Structure 1
Amino acid sequence: MYSFSCVMCFLSFYLMSNLVGNAKGCIDYDLDLIYSDKILVKCHSDDFNIVRRNFIRHNVTFLYKVAHNVYAFNIWMAETGLNAQRERNEADLKDPREFNIAELKASRELNETELEALYIFGGKDAFGNNRVKYIQQGEQLFPNPHVLPLERHTRDTRTIFEDNRQRQHSGIVCSPFYDPAHHIEDAWKAGYTGKHIVIGIVDVGIDGDNQELKENIAVEYSHNFVDNNNNYAPEYYGNYPELSTLTNHGNACGTVAAGVCRNTTCDPCSCGVAKDAKIAVLKTGKVMKFRNWPYPAMESSAYAAALGYKHNHIAIYSCSWDFNKPFTKLDFASEKALFKGYKAGRKGLGSIYVFPAGRPGNGFSNSLYTIAVNTIGVNGTLPGRRFVNTATLVSAFGDGNTRHDSGMVIRPLQWTTMHSQPNTTRCSNKFSGSSSATALVSGIIAIALQANPNLTVRDIKHILVESSTYTGLEETPNFKQNAAGKFYHSAFGFGYPNVMEMIHYAQNFTPLPNLVHYSVFVADDRIYGDKRIVDLFSNKSIDIEQITVDVWMKLPKEENVVLHLISPSRTEALLLDTIINRPPEDVDVDNRLHVHTVFLVNAFWGEISYGNWSLELRLQNRQSFPEHDLGAINITFYGTQKDNLNITGNGKRTNEYDLQKNGVDNNDRKVKGTQKYKNNVMNNTCNITLIIIFSIALFENNF
């Protein structure tokens, strides 16, 4: 996995990671959002042709369907406007209402007026009715190309060219292919290899003629979402071997998740975890070249389209890219695709989305619809990128074939296939990190699904939690036991899964009780010494599975900010432990950064929701009260109803998760939020007196 950050951010991280033992990292807000020339539109399928025809008048042309009733369009630049003429009608050009969208530059955010023009003029039918329900500008999921990957600097002092030259080979890799604690090869011996399961590799593409992958590629479920065609091969710059770090990323992920295995004793380039599973290649980005440095070009519209593609056939979406986005919400198309897949994928059992944990508050990993994975470092140490993320459910040995491997020994990192000529094989052992761990866990889940194809997404989460262990690691002493007896680590989640245990649980799994959720909203905080604290009381008793914490904060720059959630049983979950580095220009007069984000918390799995909870914000190693505060928070508990309580009064029953609070299913038009809007929300919310809202919702068992 590669996430992009600035050199100053790296230096801060490097110094901090060598001075402190806790998992933490720096956050660079300069890389928050970069807008693309794509717009995402929600409209009913019956209205699509009206919307498409009207958009053509403004040099806005249709690209592809992203999800149900969500479509991607492209805004052509003035200098390339002739391309749009091909789809124009002469009569359309005479429309006096035409708004010159073609003059817009896609490298910046469209302002409210420009989006308003697209909304008003783009969706009118013959009777003047607007058919567009929602419109949003797309994003580039990576920053500017001159910003280098942070992970590249953390390995060793060799150049990338030397690294490639020394590590590429065409030899044989022998067992153990993966750390024995995962029991992957034991599962193979028992006949569980991921057979009949399709894993989608959401990445920069895979070489379809690669001998170590070709036999397992499901061509009928593969697609290129960048160019909207069936050529899903990655870019390859043969004269620049250093660029293979990224161009080979999809090949490497495919090798780990479901690479071809001819011999389980010794095999070229190792064996895939789910070695008999099929691979759906979902190409969502290109690898570009900037001064001989590679960088991925990926856009939210293509990524969202891949997440919703063929979800009745693709069981698992392995998404190994971390987009370096802390404290960010998903664009509505991605959230819509995840929601649709979670609810309707696999014919109602739910699509399984596996993501790297990444940075705190990251929208993809902190979603209820995904499974967040971290990597375990050499000998069970913290990985090189030490970000706390309470969304982490489990981790895997992604920094080597076994936990004892490293880049400084004879058998470093994970062995994977490389770009190669037809009928030839080249291997590399330079693949590692959360990318590797995400692909590995995706393969593990495929094995569990072979044992029981009827498992829901929620079932898989339960099985991962119950089958994971934490012993034999250098970080083992830092796993903390919660009140339900489960051991959790702020970076590793519940530890690493045991596949044989997963198979046992999968074969004997009994249906879970209905999932319920219950929310508490509080608008005030208080000062206690050097802390800002929000207190809340939960008067409903739920056996907790997951918790979401939707919080507004004002944070100081260049300080180590620590945020804890504490349960009635005094279990502590570390939501945030990071340095706020180089905040953007839109801060208040006190130079504080306004943050509105959602944390997904797993640390309280199995505990009871009833009682006093507190959210504590403080600065590390500071005695005096700093200039920071907590605004409104909304905490939602997800789990099973305790003792069959009869919910009355403010209790509310529903059969479907309400996504309107995130703007996904709200029919009112919305424009992409600005910092001014966020500040207004903060100011208005903090003036409200203490409000507690109780709501509970019953879910279907497969949701």
Structure 2
Amino acid sequence: MQDQTGSGVKVAVIDSGLEIAHEDLKANVLSGRSYDFINSDNDPTSWSRDGDHGTSVAGLIAATGFNDLGGRGVAPDASLMGLNWLQSQSFLHWQQSLGGTRTDDARVINLSYGLDVSGPMTFFDSWNNAAESHLAQVQASNNSGKGIVLMKSAGNSFEEVGTSMTINGRNIYAIGNYHYVHRWSGHIAGTEPESSSIYYTVISALNAYGSRSSYSSTGASVWVSAPGGEYGTSSPAMITTDQSGCSSGYAKSSESGFDGGSEENESCNYTSSFNGTSSAAPVASGVAALIIAANPDLHWRDVRHILAATAVKIDKSFLPVSFSDNGQSFYAEPGWITNNAGYHFHNWYGFGMVDATAAVTMATDAGYESLGPLQSTGFVSATTVSPVTIPESADGVTRTVAISDNYSVEGVQVRFSASHSRDADISVEITSPAGTRSLVLPPRSLLVLDQDDYQDADFADTVLLSNAFYGESSQGNWTITVRDTNSGDFNFFGYDANTDQTVLITTSNPASGTLGSVSLRIYGH
């Protein structure tokens, strides 16, 4: 990789903590730059004895290389700072952590956390409105206008989503996808508002065989995929730094094998059982640090562009996932598409698997031209605005949005409102003027909060992002199609908090839904 090790690139880990004195991290931890929001000091070393998520994340990014200790991070000479925002979660501390006063000179920020979503969320609550405003300023101003690469985990809820609901009088603490064996994703990454923001780079996880990790959330907002491992039993997890010593951490004397203080890990300072999109995001963060070290003049969107342009198309034999309802066929996952600009895209993998060597090579190419300033159409309303019933048919309801601006597309957001007694029936697809189709809301997801005994859960100014149109022209008529895909029952599993038993939940389909407002916003250059 042209001798790139990430030297000179500052990476912030926003997480549960970071053991700044760890033997394989301390050489790369910036003195006085980490922060503990609970104790108001510069040492976010975790007090937990059951493993520190942030310490393990940091090791994948920048565990020191060539020191005869442990392993090495993807960018083994990058500079680290850790902030334990997950222990605080105040908005002020979030601002300080994401390009604010404590991380204003970071070039990469790793966000290995997320939110399980079981019902539609608005993009425009007070938190997200303030967050979008803050990030717009950060990306335009920080690092002399080069901004910050914000690496975000897609989520770990393909098969099961944590929640809190009351269904048929039962207290439910999690829900499971009845159809996961059919490869229907329970959690769509973009239903979490952060993951449908243009300012984040969303990462899904791969196993050792180069396909989706079993748990990895997916969706059209995924940018690229990176190794995240499995559970370390039948398929490997990730090896990384752990809390020091055999009395605390994921690896300790009560465990077995490598994590139990075996000959290869006598001091239990490392773990072989880390996984999740929490692992995939820091791998991608390390690659971003290599790219920036190779060419410090790149801005955050250049780094994303290089990741997309050099990503490797994987799982090439993937077969689209479809199902039938009342004699009609629907897609739950279309698989690989090639858009009109020549980019391959897949809701599971984004543009593909990160390729550090190819990315660094592209970053150092003398002929590389930086992207122009980020532009936005703003939200443009559909030509038809009156509410309409959503029929249970493959045709669905279509809305047309006419875009006059001619940008090279970087991201497309659809904003819509709809009501239905069973949100999991609904699918939303965007078609570009060039004919590229992107399924931004696959049907049969676990958006089942509307089945709660005590609350409704409609789509109300929900925003979903698609990266599938990257490089196409924004100009022309865009089509948004909303379908009701299920005329029969819908089944999913609930986990009863009182009995800790799995119960099958069957929901009926009492009425058709209604589509309200639809608009589209396109970012590009």
- TM-score tier (shorter): 0.7 to 0.9
Q: 1:524 aligns with which of 374, 377, 386?
A: 386
2-side partners of 1:569 and 1:280: how far apart? Answer: 44
Structure 1 residues 381, 503: closer, same or farther in 2, change over 3 A?
closer
1-side partners of 2:48 and 2:301: how far apart? Answer: 39
1-side partners of 2:297 and 2:392: how far apart? Answer: 52
Q: 2:57 aligns with which of 253, 263, 269?
A: 253
Q: 2:106 aligns with which of 314, 329, 348?
A: 314
> Which residue in 2 is equivalent to 1:419?
243
1-side partners of 2:94 and 2:406: how far apart? Answer: 39
Once the two structures are superposed, residues 466-517 of structure 1 have per-residue CA deviations (whole angstroms, 9 ceiling, x without a partner) of 1112135564883111122211001211011211221122123213234332
1-side partners of 2:217 and 2:420: how far apart? Answer: 18
Deviation at 1:393, TM superposition (A): 0.8
Alignment of 1:431-442 (within 5 A): 431-442=274-285
Alignment of 1:495-574 (within 5 A): 495-508=352-365, 509-519=368-378, 520-522=380-382, 523-524=385-386, 526=388, 530=393, 531-557=396-422, 559-574=424-439
Structure 1 residues 549, 226: closer, same or farther in 2, change over 3 A?
farther
Does 2:107 align with 1:339?
no
> Which residue in 2 is equivalent to 1:72?
none
C-alpha contact 2:391 2:483 (8 A) present in aligned 1: no
> Which residue in 2 is equivalent to 1:600?
465
Structure 1 residues 592, 476: closer, same or farther in 2, change over 3 A?
closer
Structure 1 residues 468, 553: closer, same or farther in 2, change over 3 A?
same
Report the structure, 1 or 2, having the larger helix content.
1
> Which residue in 1 is equivalent to 2:214?
384
Residue 580 of structure 1 aligns to a residue in which SS?
A: coil
In structure 2, give the amino acid aligned to 1:579: L
C-alpha contact 2:411 2:523 (8 A) present in aligned 1: yes
> Which residue in 2 is equivalent to 1:467?
310
Does 2:151 align with 1:357?
no
Does 2:339 align with 1:479?
no
Deviation at 1:552, TM superposition (A): 1.6
Q: 2:28 aligns with which of 192, 197, 216?
A: 216
C-alpha contact 1:562 1:620 (8 A) present in aligned 2: yes
2-side partners of 1:625 and 1:378: how far apart? Answer: 44
TM-score (norm 2): 0.74
Query: Identity, % of aligned pairs?
Result: 24
> Which residue in 2 is equivalent to 1:407?
232
Once the two structures are superposed, residues 239-261 of structure 1 have per-residue CA deviations (whole angstroms, 9 ceiling, x without a partner) of xxxx32xxx20111000011112
C-alpha contact 1:552 1:631 (8 A) present in aligned 2: yes
C-alpha contact 2:420 2:513 (8 A) present in aligned 1: yes
Does 2:299 align with 1:456?
yes
C-alpha contact 1:381 1:475 (8 A) present in aligned 2: no
C-alpha contact 1:328 1:361 (8 A) present in aligned 2: no
In structure 1, give the amino acid aligned to 2:40: N
Structure 1 residues 562, 338: closer, same or farther in 2, change over 3 A?
same
C-alpha contact 2:16 2:85 (8 A) present in aligned 1: yes
C-alpha contact 2:60 2:283 (8 A) present in aligned 1: yes
Q: 2:449 aligns with which of 576, 582, 588?
A: 582
Deviation at 1:441, TM superposition (A): 0.4
Does 2:53 align with 1:196?
no
Structure 1 residues 635, 332: closer, same or farther in 2, change over 3 A?
closer
2-side partners of 1:571 and 1:276: how far apart? Answer: 41
1-side partners of 2:134 and 2:397: how far apart? Answer: 37
In structure 2, give the amino acid aligned to 1:303: W
Residue 193 of structure 2 aligns to a residue in which SS?
A: coil
Residue 497 of structure 1 aligns to a residue in which SS?
A: coil
Structure 1 residues 619, 382: closer, same or farther in 2, change over 3 A?
farther
C-alpha contact 1:373 1:396 (8 A) present in aligned 2: yes
Structure 1 residues 427, 311: closer, same or farther in 2, change over 3 A?
closer
Once the two structures are superposed, residues 50-84 of structure 1 have per-residue CA deviations (whole angstroms, 9 ceiling, x without a partner) of xxxxxxxxxxxxxxxxxxxxxxxxxxxxxxxxxxx
2-side partners of 1:319 and 1:580: how far apart? Answer: 24
> Which residue in 1 is equivalent to 2:168?
none
Deviation at 1:456, TM superposition (A): 0.8
Deviation at 1:616, TM superposition (A): 1.5
Q: 1:632 aligns with which of 511, 517, 520?
A: 517
Deviation at 1:193, TM superposition (A): 0.4
Once the two structures are superposed, residues 127-176 of structure 1 have per-residue CA deviations (whole angstroms, 9 ceiling, x without a partner) of xxxxxxxxxxxxxxxxxxxxxxxxxxxxxxxxxxxxxxxxxxxxxxxxxx
Once the two structures are superposed, residues 511-570 of structure 1 have per-residue CA deviations (whole angstroms, 9 ceiling, x without a partner) of 323433224212235556622322223344332121122222223336432111112232
2-side partners of 1:431 and 1:204: how far apart? Answer: 15
- Which structure is higher in RCO with an 8 Å CA cutoff and minimum separation 6? 2
2-side partners of 1:634 and 1:352: how far apart? Answer: 27
2-side partners of 1:592 and 1:276: how far apart? Answer: 47
Once the two structures are superposed, residues 90-148 of structure 1 have per-residue CA deviations (whole angstroms, 9 ceiling, x without a partner) of xxxxxxxxxxxxxxxxxxxxxxxxxxxxxxxxxxxxxxxxxxxxxxxxxxxxxxxxxxx
C-alpha contact 1:254 1:279 (8 A) present in aligned 2: yes
TM-score (norm 1): 0.56
> Which residue in 2 is equivalent to 1:59?
none
In structure 2, give the amino acid aligned to 1:465: A
Q: In angstroms, what is the RMSD of aligned CA positions?
A: 2.7
C-alpha contact 1:566 1:613 (8 A) present in aligned 2: yes
In structure 2, give the amino acid aligned to 1:513: G
C-alpha contact 1:394 1:465 (8 A) present in aligned 2: yes
Deviation at 1:331, TM superposition (A): 3.6
Residue 216 of structure 1 aligns to a residue in which SS?
A: coil
5+ residue gaps, structure 2, are 156-188, 247-265, 321-334, 489-508
Structure 1 residues 353, 262: closer, same or farther in 2, change over 3 A?
same
Once the two structures are superposed, residues 423-464 of structure 1 have per-residue CA deviations (whole angstroms, 9 ceiling, x without a partner) of 955221111111001111000000000110011112112111
Structure 1 residues 313, 425: closer, same or farther in 2, change over 3 A?
farther
Q: 1:323 aligns with which of 109, 112, 115?
A: 115
Structure 1 residues 376, 424: closer, same or farther in 2, change over 3 A?
closer
Residue 379 of structure 1 aligns to a residue in which SS?
A: coil
Deviation at 1:388, TM superposition (A): 3.6
2-side partners of 1:482 and 1:625: how far apart? Answer: 38
Residue 462 of structure 1 aligns to a residue in which SS?
A: helix
Deviation at 1:217, TM superposition (A): 0.6
C-alpha contact 1:556 1:628 (8 A) present in aligned 2: yes
Once the two structures are superposed, residues 170-205 of structure 1 have per-residue CA deviations (whole angstroms, 9 ceiling, x without a partner) of xxxxxxxxxxxxxxxxx2xx3100001111000111
Structure 1 residues 353, 559: closer, same or farther in 2, change over 3 A?
closer
In structure 2, give the amino acid aligned to 1:324: D
Q: 1:273 aligns with which of 45, 67, 74?
A: 74
In structure 2, give the amino acid aligned to 1:407: G
C-alpha contact 1:482 1:603 (8 A) present in aligned 2: yes
Alignment of 1:160-309 (within 5 A): 187=1, 190-237=2-49, 243-244=50-51, 248-262=52-66, 268-286=69-87, 298-307=89-98, 308-309=100-101
2-side partners of 1:514 and 1:347: how far apart? Answer: 14
> Which residue in 2 is equivalent to 1:493?
350
Structure 1 residues 568, 194: closer, same or farther in 2, change over 3 A?
same
